Structure 1
Amino acid sequence: MAKLSLGLQLGYWGQLAPGNAHVELAQEAERLGYDSVWMAESWGNDCFTPLSWIGAHTSTLRLGTAVAQLSARTPTACAMATLALDHLSGGRMVLGLGVSGPQVVEGWYGQPYSKPVTRTREYVEIIRKVLAREAPVTNDGEFYPLPYNGPGAWGMGKPLKPITHPLRADVPIFIGAEGPKNVTQTAEIADGWLPLYYSPYRQEVYADQLVNAKPGFEVAPTVMAVMNDDLEQALYPVKAMLGFYIGGMGSAKRNFHKELMARMGFPDEAEQIQKLFFEGKRDEAIAVVPDAFADEISLCGPRDRIKEKLKDWEDSPVTTLLISGDIDLLRGMAELTL
């Protein structure tokens, strides 16, 4: 039975900036013995800037992007941000990457959403070259040619390596992946995996995809934790999250979250959730989310129940639970886990 570590998942900012609330949560998490703090980005806040601010107000927490979207910046720009934050934090940076989805990539970043698995591999390879700083960086891949000699090029590009020497060549790289091919590749090329949701009771869903993971490979899912003596009430936020992701985060043609729910044993419910969500019946879509599924991927209910469920997570490949919540929840989870 492996000991679990805890990370603070701050997620997106949403409509309003959080002010100092995130710093205060991170400082409390650090006092409680949490291992890491993670920031997301979408079509609002970026992830590197808030982590820099949090890093300036903490001293031991690892600073993770969960996730930095590939299409938001070129791989060399991402490597530069990683290099800078790793230096400023004294070697606490963890680079979490993800491809996002076609709605965001094509609608917000104005780039084609093609061959996401191949694109991810190429992106990671370039970042590792930058951080290794062994030679000027070149790449003859399909997506990020270096030097660039395509349409519009002046033909004057030259291979470069970073002026600033990286603090660490081996900054950990995690990947947020859901599809089988992407998870398989993540185990092969990354230091850790960031599942959006994971069930310790259905380890067989991912078992074959993780067989090539190297020693020390980390698995850090975001796990919603709600301490409430009323289990139905505790599960509602989890069901609401699932209803939104499975129903609305994707198109009728492709929704990776819906496909994952189907692979995890709930194909009919996933189909119905999406149908209702597209019809504008969000409350009904949430109601269709099975309590059993919501319960498997979360830690909900009375305190003693959560304590028992933690044993199942400890018996899984999971190494870190990324927790979102207020200070009381962070303290409660620390008491149960750490």
Structure 2
Amino acid sequence: MTERHVHLPVAAQESVQDFVDQAVKAEELGYDFVWLPETWGRDAVTIMTSIAHATEEIGIGSSIMNVYSRSPALLAQTAATLQEVSDGRFRLGIGPSGPAVIGGWHGEDFGNPLRRTREYVDIIKMVLAGEELDYNGEYFNVSGFRLRCDAPEPAPKVDVAGMGPKAVELAGRFADGWHAILFTPETMADRLEDFERGGELGDRDRSQQQCTLSLTCCALEDGEEARELTRQHSAFYVGAMGTYYRDSLARQGYEDEAHAIAANWMNGDREAALDIFTDEMLDDFTAAGTPERARDELRKFADIDGVDAVSVGFPRAATEEQIHATLEALAPGEE
């Protein structure tokens, strides 16, 4: 049975307590896991620690922490500590993010993100296993480091986010799971083949790996308002967040639309960009509308063979009230 997760808002909230309240609400409603993104707002570690102290059973994870702003050894230390404070409920999600964030915010050269991500996974897993580092890679040559506390038992799982075929294959080959975002149901099936091929190359046990699909959702009694909020969110990602999301849409049969959305957005014509993001595209990539419609749209993704968890995310402009309404409408058992 597909698990139901929550992808906490990527947009800034009024306070850390807002994130904690959303996680507590998710736990009360029976969600299995909460994931927290980290971009350029509050840092994820402090918020996840606060959530761990305020909850008892729900899983907690990062989706995603990038592989540039913290060293792999520091990320491993962080994962070990969060596993301790959450009493074994933590799962580490990492990925390269994109050049717009990595170069523009962190001032780092994006380089070869796939190779860098692979080295992060290798090093993090060595540290979490309690091993002394002796690693020679393209990006990292490290030795002599070992946790000065007991290694976590069990070690937290390490997941990788990816959109392109090679990135997804890498997740299957080296990581414990794959985080997917902005895929149609048809394309998810193709990328799952890449994930499973990677698992075969890495001699991994697929039953021990997890595919988590993050899905932008909005379920309101005013279904048109829900869809408009979701359309604005989706167009923003295609138009303003570098080339990754645009390229992903293009690979999935929406090349003309993706480039037109990006061009209009960058030229300041937001309305034109929104007009290009059609209702058909909205239904292909999101679950939005009245509670009944949003549940039907979400079910299309939850029923994909190989998707282990669907993570309910929210539009950037959604209010606290709209977030809670969506949480309630799409909670496990509400189908």
| Common fold: TM-score over 0.5 | yes
**Residue in structure 2 matched with residue 9 of structure 1 by the alignment:** 7
Q: Does 1:140 align with 2:136?
A: yes
Larger Cα-atom Rg: 1
Q: Does 1:45 align with 2:42?
A: yes
**Residue in structure 1 matched with residue 70 of structure 2 by the alignment:** 73
Offset at residue 331 of structure 1 (A): 1.7
**Residue in structure 2 matched with residue 195 of structure 1 by the alignment:** 180
Matches within 5 A, 1:81-100: 81-100=78-97
TM-score by length of 2: 0.89
Offset at residue 302 of structure 1 (A): 2.9
Q: 1:212-251: per-residue Cα shift (whole Å, max 9, x none)?
A: 342232222221222246654332222212211111111x
Q: Does 1:64 align with 2:61?
A: yes
The number of residue pairs the alignment matches comes to 319
Structure 2 counterpart of 1:140, one-letter code: N
Structure 2 counterpart of 1:113, one-letter code: F
**Residue in structure 1 matched with residue 241 of structure 2 by the alignment:** 249
Q: Does 1:322 align with 2:311?
A: yes
Counterpart of 1:123 (choices 120, 125, 137) is 120
Counterpart of 1:174 (choices 143, 148, 159) is 159
Change (3 A) 1:204 1:335: closer
Structure 2 counterpart of 1:241, one-letter code: H
Q: Structure 1: which 5+ runs fail to align?
A: 148-158
- Distance in 2 (alpha carbons) for counterparts of 1:337 and 1:170: 33
Is residue 132–residue 169 contact of structure 1 (8 Å, CA) maintained in 2?
no
- Distance in 1 (alpha carbons) for counterparts of 2:253 and 2:224: 21
In angstroms, what is the RMSD of aligned CA positions? Answer: 1.9
- Distance in 2 (alpha carbons) for counterparts of 1:40 and 1:262: 24
Structure richer in helix, relative to its length: 2
- Distance in 1 (alpha carbons) for counterparts of 2:228 and 2:294: 16
Q: Does 1:236 align with 2:211?
A: no
Q: 1:254-308: per-residue Cα shift (whole Å, max 9, x none)?
A: x011110011110000111111111111121111112111112222223333343
**Residue in structure 2 matched with residue 298 of structure 1 by the alignment:** 286
Which has the larger displacement, 183-192 or 297-306? 297-306
Q: Does 1:18 align with 2:15?
A: yes
- Distance in 1 (alpha carbons) for counterparts of 2:176 and 2:66: 17
Structure richer in strand, relative to its length: 2
Identity among equivalent pairs (%) = 27
Structure 1 counterpart of 2:175, one-letter code: A
**Residue in structure 2 matched with residue 155 of structure 1 by the alignment:** none
Structure 1 counterpart of 2:157, one-letter code: P
Offset at residue 107 of structure 1 (A): 2.3
Is residue 220–residue 321 contact of structure 1 (8 Å, CA) maintained in 2?
yes
SS at 1:31 equivalent: helix
Q: Does 1:269 align with 2:257?
A: yes
Change (3 A) 1:269 1:196: same
SS at 1:265 equivalent: coil
TM-score by length of 1: 0.88
Counterpart of 1:103 (choices 97, 100, 104) is 100
- Distance in 1 (alpha carbons) for counterparts of 2:332 and 2:5: 14
Structure 1 counterpart of 2:147, one-letter code: P
Is residue 44–residue 62 contact of structure 2 (8 Å, CA) maintained in 1?
yes
**Residue in structure 2 matched with residue 150 of structure 1 by the alignment:** none
